[in-house]
Structure 1
Amino acid sequence: MTVAFWCVLFALFLPYLCTSVAKFGSGRFGLRENHDPRAFLDSLEGFARRAHAAQLNSFEVTPAFAAAVIIADVVGNAEQVTQDVLAVLFITSRLLYIICYLADWALLRSLVWALGMGVIAAFFVVSA
């Protein structure tokens, strides 16, 4: 299995890392809140709410990343090392994005998000 494919697996679990930070970082999550976790997450504020927002964004972007990796692999025009480097860059951008979101660095977060989207586009460019 390639590094790029392992990065897809890693990307699939990043939202759950954010969820854990949101739930347990709030200091309020317990068995009662687990009966309706979506309502609980919607009620959060501050740091925990930003973790929840990072979770939602991670769920949104992961399918595009997975598709880009799979398409690049199927097309086969890009060297595997190029695909692997791009995948690691994407994961790095996502980790930085989450850090920026949690730290409430809005402008930097947006720039890192744009970088990640650029990496997804780069998979298509190098595969053309």
Structure 2
Amino acid sequence: MNAIALYMLFNLLLLGLTKAPVAIAMARLGRYNNASPRDQQTELSGWGKRALAAHQNAIEAIPIFGLALLTAAHLELPMEDLHLYAGGFVISRVLYQLCYLADWATLRSIVWIAGYGFCVALVASSL
């Protein structure tokens, strides 16, 4: 089941990458406030505020994807299906971040629904 660990690793690495735009936006406020970053994040607006929301959503998606992956593994979902749905989820998360940063709200919502659908498919196809 190395594929499952790899998909989770990709998702965790993506989470780290979603922090970069937040840090850039915070630094543009004068400097990155490492002593109290959450206080500084309340000052973000526009692109920076969207970057923060995208990062927070990435954090929220981890347990959903992780549980879907573990369920698929436990119920022995065929690897072809696992690659299709887990790969689709990871790709949807990349697209979601890009849509959020670009302020493409409708497309972002469609991509979010697709990503959630991939998680549902991981579980439903395992039954």
Q: Contact 1:2–1:84 at 8 Å: present in 2 too?
A: no
Does residue 95 (structure 1) correspond to residue 94 (structure 2)? The answer is yes
Cα distance in 2 for partners of 1:42, 1:14 equals 23
Please give the root-mean-square deviation of Cα atoms over the aligned residues, in Å: 1.5
Query: Structure 2-normalised TM-score?
Result: 0.91
Instruction: Tell me if structure 2 keeps the 8 A contact 1:86–1:123.
Output: yes
**Can you list the C-alpha shifts for 1:8-57, whole angstroms capped at 9, x where unaligned?**
112123232222111114423635x1110111122101111111000100
Aligned-partner Cα distance in 2 for 1:75–1:3 = 15
User: In percent, how many aligned pairs have the same letter?
Assistant: 34
Work out whether 1:28 is the aligned partner of 2:49: no
- Could you say which residue in structure 2 is the equivalent of 1:51? 51
Q: Does 1:75 align with 2:75?
A: yes
2:19·2:55 contact (CA, 8 Å) conserved in 1? yes
Structure 1 counterpart of 2:72, one-letter code = A
Which structure 1 residue ranges, 5 or more long, are not aligned? none
1:40-93 deviation digits (Å, cap 9, x = unpaired): 1221011111110001001111111011011110111x2112102211100000
Q: How many residues align?
A: 126
TM-score (norm 1): 0.90
In structure 2, what is the equivalent of residue 37 of structure 1?
Answer: 37
Structure 2 residue runs without a partner (length 5+):
none
CA distance in 1, matches of 2:96, 2:126: 26
Mapped contact 1:15–1:58 kept (Cα < 8 A): yes
SS in 1 for 2:125: helix
What secondary structure, in the 3-state scheme, does the structure 2 residue paired with 1:85 have? helix
